[in-house]
Amino acid sequence: MSDGIRAPVLDGRNLRKSYHLAEQTVQALRGVSLSVAPGEYVAIVGPSGCGKSTLLQLLGGIDAPTGGTVSVLGTELGQLSDRELTHLRLTRLGFVFQRFHLLPVLTALENIELPMAEAGVARAERRERARALLDYVGLADRAAHRATQLSGGEMQRVAVARALANRPAIILADEPTGELDAATGRELLALFRRLNADGATLVVVTHDERLAAEAGRVVPMLDGMITCS
Amino acid sequence: MLLSLAPTPVRAQRPGVAVERRLAERLGLRVGDTMRLASSPDSAGRLFSVAAIYDPPRDPAALLKRELRLRMHLPDLAALLGAPDRIDRAGVALRPGVSAETAAARINLSAFGYRAAPSREIAAESSQTFAVVSRFHRAIAVITVVASAVFLLCIMLLKVEERRRDAAVMRFIGVRRRTIFGALLLEAAAIAIVGALLGIAIAWAAGALTNLYYQHYFATQVVFSLITPRIVLFGVALSLVLGVGAGALAALRLVRTRPAVLWGRG
């Protein structure tokens, strides 16, 4: 690969997705193409129902497109078995959700350790890494607290730390500030900014204009298509 | 045989009689007291000395008869009844090692007008009611187990249904199906064991209350409700099998569903 040309870490080509609802077929995506370069911070914006979350799910290998292809680090997801796809999501992608979705019976530290345990990281190493990640998101003193004992902002920061656990190539976030108040939302913006400055590739679906304004590139969507990028 | 009882203080040496504790308590009798026994209310009867007060063996069959008993030597009984050549029942004690069946056969061959039978045979005959009740209990238990299994399966399906989004997120972040399946199975086993232990604790408490009430009601030491280690083991094992089975079915249904569908899309 020559200098100056960076191969995309994430590449979606002519993506189409349709759902069958009763007798109707709903076209959620109508031929969307999107490439994300390493270290890029991309915000996908648009009104509700325009296909942003569907696009993120296809890019993250959570759902399969009706048409088109998705490649992550040069690997085409359509060619992978369910097991290989699961492993790729575990090791190459990090997910952050609107409602945090931490496991309530586990502590903050254990929630972060979970993807590492699944990836086979040794206990001592994963504990050390989980502590470092908690420190990174500013929650070192909350390690032993269960998810239910944390505030919304704290839960989301733990969710970000969990997404970073296996050192993923890309972090995909779906409305990460959607459940947070203005103050905690700002904390998360700062965290994302810091993550990107430290080299993380971020793709964020958001309604939040402040979050979109932080991104290096904004991708607006309407009716299942990218309007301009 | 009808006996009328009348405690009477008399100084002379009298034939001894052993009185069942409940009867002694009811009449306020103590060892050494003298009592008059008669075969009918209008006969004079005879005087006996209370030689012993005894606790009868625990016999569930005797509970509802409400009989109060006393024991005396056979000649005294014959004299009291005025029928020295007549008895209704007699027990024969055998030396250790002697077969009851052989002894009964030999007695039956020796004369006519009575029938000798081993006590096991008599107990089986008098326990027919309990055998029928026991069969009813088994039938009720089977119906309860089947109904519980269906209920447990429904509960497990609902519990797992509640986890759809959590399971979806786990799948999104790369957790394998078998890890999720194992976690749900462990949870089902834990719920089953806790449920079984709780059930045993409730059964033990209910049994204790039942015993307390009926032992007082019948003035007996008969144990009406008994929870044995075998019952506990059976209960826990059955609960574990049903719980894990129901959990496995529910978990299998969950992990076979695509993550996007679990999430509510697709």
CATH number at residue A49: 3.40.50.300
Of the pLDDT bands very low, low, confident and very high (cuts 50, 70, 90), residue A1 is very low
3-state secondary structure of B34: strand
- Taking CA–CA distances from B180, the nearest residue in chain A reads A118
**Is B112 contained in some domain?**
no
Mean confidence (pLDDT) of chain A: 90
Binning pLDDT at 50, 70 and 90, where does residue A3 land? very low
Residue B100 lies in a domain: no
Contact partners, residue B164, CB within 8 Å, separation at least 6: B254, B257, B262, B263, B264
Per-residue pLDDT reduced to its tens digit, B138-194 = 899 889 888 988 888 888 888 888 888 888 888 999 999 999 999 889 988 998 889
Q: What is the pLDDT of residues A28-73, one digit of tens each?
A: 999 999 999 999 999 999 998 899 999 999 999 988 999 999 999 9
Q: ipTM surpassing 0.85, yes or no?
A: no
Phi, psi of A165 (to 5 degrees): -55, -45
Structural domains of chain A, count: 1
Asked whether the beta carbons of residue B172 and residue A83 sit closer than 8 angstroms, the reply is: no
Instruction: Report the alpha-carbon distance of residue A108 to residue A104 in Å, rounded.
Output: 9
On whether the CB atoms of residues A225 and A14 are closer than 8 A, the answer is: no
Q: Is residue B123 part of a domain?
A: no
Residue B190 lies inside a defined structural domain of this protein: yes
Position A103 pLDDT exceeds 80: yes
Shared domain for B256 and B144, answered yes or no, is yes
Q: Which domain holds residue B62?
A: 2-81
pLDDT at A4: 52
- Scan residues 147-206 of B and list those with Cβ closer than 8 Å to A: 165-166, 169, 171-177, 179
pLDDT digits (tens, 9 = 90+) for B87-110: 777 788 898 999 999 999 998 888
How confident is the model over A172-217, as pLDDT tens digits? Answer: 999 898 888 888 888 888 888 888 998 899 999 998 888 888 899 9
> Are residues B265 and A119, on separate chains, in Cβ contact within 8 Å?
no
pLDDT at A124 over 80: yes
Same-domain pairing of B139 and B242: yes
Average pLDDT over residues B215-233: 86
- The residue of chain A nearest to residue B179, with distances taken between CA atoms, is A118
B101 touches chain A (CB under 8 A): no
- Residue B98 resides in a domain: no
| CB neighbours of residue A167 within 10 Å | 12
Other Cβ atoms less than 10 A from the Cβ of B147: the count is 10
- Beta carbons within 8 Å of B188's beta carbon, 6+ residues apart: B156, B243, B244, B246, B247, B248, B250, B251
DSSP summary character for residue B14: -
Q: Say yes or no: B167 and B247 in one domain.
A: yes
- Tell me whether residue A140 is in a domain: no
Mean pLDDT of B55-74: 78
Domain membership flag for residue A153? no
For residues B77 and B157, membership in a common domain is answered with no
Asked if residue A141 belongs to a domain, the reply is no
User: CA of A53, closest CA in chain B: separation in Å?
Assistant: 10
Residue B89 lies in a domain: no
A63 contact B CB<8A: yes
Q: pLDDT at position A2, please? A: 43
Residues B141, B50, single domain; the answer is: no
List Cβ neighbours of A136 (8 Å cut-off, separation of 6 or more). Answer: A161, A164
Evaluate whether residue A148 is within a structural domain: no
Closest B-chain CA to A87? B174
For residue B259, the chain A residues in CB contact (below 8 A) are 62-63
Mutate to test the interface with B, among A57, A62, A179 (most CBs of B within 10 A): A62
Vertex A116 angle, CA A111 and A117, to 5°: 85
pLDDT, chain B, mean? 85
Taking 80 as the threshold, does the pLDDT of residue B66 lie above it? no
| A162 belongs to a structural domain | no
Q: Which domain holds residue A23?
A: 10-105+167-226
CA separation for the pair B184, B244 (Å, rounded): 9
My answer on whether B63 and B146 are in the same domain is: no
Q: What's this model's pTM, rounded to 2 decimal places?
A: 0.68
Last residue of a domain, one of B39, B62, B81: B81
Candidates A13, A10, A204, A26; CA nearest to B265 is: A26
Q: Does B151 lie in the same domain as B254?
A: yes
Give domain status of residue B95, yes or no.
no
Considering the domain architecture, whether residues B43 and B149 belong to the same structural domain is answered as no
User: Which chain A residues touch B260 with a CB distance below 8 Å?
Assistant: 57, 62-63
Spell B103-127 as b/e; 16+ CB within 10 A means b.
Answer: ebeeeeeeeeeeebebeeeeeeeee
Q: Cα(A180)–Cα(A154) distance, rounded to whole angstroms?
A: 10
- Is A150 domain-assigned? no
Chain B environment of A162 (Cβ under 8 Å): 173
Question: What pLDDT does residue B64 have?
Answer: 67
**Number of structural domains in chain B:** 2
